[in-house]
Amino acid sequence: MIHQQKSQRKIVVQSLLVVVLMFGFGFALVPMYNVFCDVFGINGKTGIEATAMAEPTVVDEERWINVEFVTTLNQSMPWHFKPTVKKIRVHPGQTTTVDFLAENLSESEMVGQAIPSVSPGWAANYFKKTECFCFNHQPLAAGESKEMGVRFFIDPDIPSKVTTLTLSYTFFDVTEKAKAKSNKKDELVKVATN
């Protein structure tokens, strides 16, 4: 009987350990996925290097590329979010600005963060954003609306088989994260001034 209880206890402890490890792996999966995508340039993620590049000096006026814009909101995001145009045609190397409209439909201030993605994923390396609302948190008061722009160009070295790219944004609610960050900054300022 005692041996059976020890055996059952051992199984319970092992099972709990497996559950804790799986839970931890679930949290680690997103950062690992982001690193993997950044390293291998897949899944349409546009990297930081794309934002740091200067604007191109050469425009390929012999080619046109259609750029489509798609917007979505995270499940619990009570905002309205859309591009001012759904599709444009650009020459590779041509710098273009497109505006997006966001409106906070909730009754309280919220902070949003847009996450971009480019399709096809492998072509994300050729899509260069020089300015983007996705670089920063976007606070909106209750009922407030805001027009936000993205300035980009498509690298002229993009393979000729590409005729259409899709830039999509998903807005996430980061209000709590922004509040925590702000509180931490306030605490640091208090410590530094004392």
CATH number of the domain at 137, please: 2.60.370.10
* Residues contacting residue 166 through CB under 8 Å, at least 6 positions apart: 67, 68, 69, 70, 118, 119
Is residue 140 situated within a structural domain?
A: yes
Answer whether residue 44 shows pLDDT above 50.
Answer: no
Instruction: Kindly indicate the confidence band of residue 66, based on its pLDDT and cuts at 50, 70 and 90.
Output: very high
The whole-number pLDDT of residue 97 equals: 96
131 and 163 fall within a common domain? yes
36 and 75 fall within a common domain? no
Is residue 84 situated within a structural domain?
A: yes
Tell me the CB-side half-sphere exposure of residue 160, using CA atoms within 13 A: 4
pTM, entire model: 0.67
Instruction: Kindly indicate the confidence band of residue 115, based on its pLDDT and cuts at 50, 70 and 90.
Output: very high
Average pLDDT, the chain: 82
Is residue 124 situated within a structural domain?
A: yes
Contact 153, 65 (CB under 8 A): no
Is residue 94 situated within a structural domain?
A: yes
Answer whether residue 145 shows pLDDT above 50.
Answer: yes
16 and 55 fall within a common domain? no
The whole-number pLDDT of residue 49 equals: 44
81 and 161 fall within a common domain? yes
Residue given tokens 């309205």 in the structure block: 80
106 and 26 fall within a common domain? no
Report how far residue 131's alpha carbon sits from residue 55's, in angstroms, rounded to the nearest whole number: 11
Is residue 7 situated within a structural domain?
A: yes
Report how far residue 42's alpha carbon sits from residue 27's, in angstroms, rounded to the nearest whole number: 21
Answer whether residue 103 shows pLDDT above 60.
Answer: yes
23 and 59 fall within a common domain? no
The whole-number pLDDT of residue 189 equals: 47
Total number of domains constituting the chain: 2
Is residue 109 situated within a structural domain?
A: yes
73 and 154 fall within a common domain? yes
State phi, psi for 113 to the nearest 5 degrees: -135, 125
132 and 69 fall within a common domain? yes
Answer whether residue 90 shows pLDDT above 60.
Answer: yes
Contact 138, 111 (CB under 8 A): yes
Q: What is the average pLDDT across 65-78?
A: 93
Residues of the domain holding 16: 1-40
6 and 60 fall within a common domain? no
Percent of the chain predicted with pLDDT > 70: 73
The whole-number pLDDT of residue 177 equals: 86
Q: What is the average pLDDT across 27-36?
A: 55
List, for residues 148-184, the tens digit of each pLDDT value: 999 999 999 999 999 999 999 999 999 988 888 766 5
The whole-number pLDDT of residue 185 equals: 54
Q: Which of 10-14, 66-70, 88-92 has the lowest mean pLDDT?
A: 10-14
Strands 164-173 and 65-73: parallel
* Edge-to-edge strands, sheet with 87-90: 87-90, 65-73, 164-173, 110-119, 138-140
16 and 56 fall within a common domain? no
Is residue 186 situated within a structural domain?
A: no
Is residue 24 situated within a structural domain?
A: yes
173 and 122 fall within a common domain? yes
Contact 70, 166 (CB under 8 A): yes
Instruction: Kindly indicate the confidence band of residue 85, based on its pLDDT and cuts at 50, 70 and 90.
Output: very high
31 and 54 fall within a common domain? no
